[in-house]
Structure 1
Amino acid sequence: MRPTLIRLVEPSDGPALADLLARDRQLRARLLPARPAEFYTPEGQASVIASLLASHGDGLAWPGVVVTDGTVIGQIGISSILRGPFQKGYLGYWVSSPHEGRGHTSRAVGLALRIAEDELHLHRLEAHTQLENLASQAILRKHGFRPWGIAHEHFYADGAWRDEMFWEKKLSAAMRRPVH
């Protein structure tokens, strides 16, 4: 088993992410929104990373990459962080197709849960999966997420509105007082 790490995304990750996203573009068309061609270039990813790091600086996100053997193989992040009475964020992740089925995604989710609790002090994490994405649903179940509803025609991708299942996980940080 190869080790899996996650870390905060860095500007220098742009070329690697562009390469991974471009390679899997057609494979993931059903799962991701349509993007302009420049999104799949190092320059496009540099712009995305700058925006993600700005959100991180504002306390609204924790944008990371999934790494094995010193190589970026995907992304993981906690976005749309809400403070006050909510103390929650949304978990999103992907690993490039050559690295799927090797446990990297599941290990990355486990590491992101630790960050959500220990660094971000969140009470709750949520995630969305398309109904057909059984692999992602299995990972969420393994890490204690529970499904709590289905949003019909919730997400537009690959020319159609897609139904999505909503997932939730209460974190042990729940015993802490809200951070404002």
Structure 2
Amino acid sequence: MLNSHLGLADGILTERMTLRVANEESTVALHAYCISNRAHLQPWEPARSESFFEIDAVAGRLRSMATQTAAGNAVHFLLFDSESGELLGDCNFTNVVRGPFQACHLGFSIAMDAEGKGLMTEALTAAIPYAFKTMGLHRIMANYRPENTRSGLLLARLGFEKEGVARSYLQINGSWADHVLTSLLNPDDLD
């Protein structure tokens, strides 16, 4: 099921990738991505049980992502290489809050062998305007662990501003971890 009602029937095209809205059609690709990048992503994610990596669990997560997107509570993008069709990573705008807040959280990951090539910068440079213009959001919040310098540098390049540090913010890889809080405001909303 494609999300043509979101203006994304063909996804968002960048120079090297297609950002497709996550749905169950991508189960095999996401399963392979999760398995091959398990150790690479482990330091930055919640502790994962073995069942998290089973193909049925991946399909279930994709169904949930599609439901969240259809309800307007999130948009989950999978980043596919334009030439090879390989899944390179993901970026998502979740926890959408409407009303006077009009904000969300940004999350992202990239395959170990795709790091350092500017691919996430390319993907987010295309996805962020979608969040602001199409979703109508005012604020995108992105938080990262202080020792995750790559994410910190990426967010700074994209214009995210540091707003502080939250102590013991999220349980990551089995331990409570501090996070640097950043945000990016919709430039169309600023005077």
Tell me if both proteins adopt one fold, taking TM over 0.5 as the criterion. Answer: yes
| TM-align CA RMSD | 1.4
Structure 2 CA distance for aligned equivalents of residues 57 and 99 of structure 1: 29
Normalised to the residue count of structure 2, the TM-score between the two structures is: 0.86
| Deviation sequence 1:39-73 (CA, Å, 0-9, x none) | 21221111001111111111100011111122221
8 Å contact 1:63–1:76 — kept in the other structure?
yes
Number of residues of Structure 1 aligned to a counterpart in Structure 2:
174
Mapping of residues 46-85 of structure 1, within 5 Å:
46-68=59-81, 69=83, 70-85=85-100
User: Are residues 86 and 118 of structure 1, via their aligned partners in 2, closer, same or farther at CA, if it must alter by over 3 Å?
Assistant: same
User: What is residue 36 of structure 2 aligned with on the other side?
Assistant: 23
Identity of aligned residues (%): 24
8 Å contact 1:13–1:72 — kept in the other structure?
no
Is 1:113 the equivalent of 2:91? Answer: no
8 Å contact 1:67–1:74 — kept in the other structure?
yes
Q: Aligned to 2:95, what secondary structure does the other structure show?
A: strand
Normalised to the residue count of structure 1, the TM-score between the two structures is: 0.91
Structure 2 CA distance for aligned equivalents of residues 158 and 86 of structure 1: 30
The offset of 1:173, in angstroms, is 4.1
| Deviation sequence 1:125-176 (CA, Å, 0-9, x none) | 000100011111111111110010101111112232111001101013426x
Q: Aligned to 1:101, what secondary structure does the other structure show?
A: coil
Structure with the bigger RCO (C-alpha within 8 Å, sep 6+) is 1
Q: Match for 1:117: what amino acid? A: F
Q: Aligned to 1:108, what secondary structure does the other structure show?
A: helix
Is 1:100 the equivalent of 2:115? Answer: yes
Structure 2 CA distance for aligned equivalents of residues 36 and 96 of structure 1: 20
User: What is residue 17 of structure 2 aligned with on the other side?
Assistant: 4
Structure 2 CA distance for aligned equivalents of residues 25 and 77 of structure 1: 19
| Structure 2: segments with no counterpart, 5+ residues | 1-14
The offset of 1:114, in angstroms, is 1.3
The offset of 1:9, in angstroms, is 1.1
Q: Match for 1:23: what amino acid? A: S
8 Å contact 1:33–1:156 — kept in the other structure?
yes
User: What is residue 137 of structure 2 aligned with on the other side?
Assistant: 122
Please identify runs of 4+ aligned residues in structure 1 that moved more than 3 A.
Answer: none
User: What is residue 178 of structure 1 aligned with on the other side?
Assistant: none
| Structure 1: segments with no counterpart, 5+ residues | 176-180
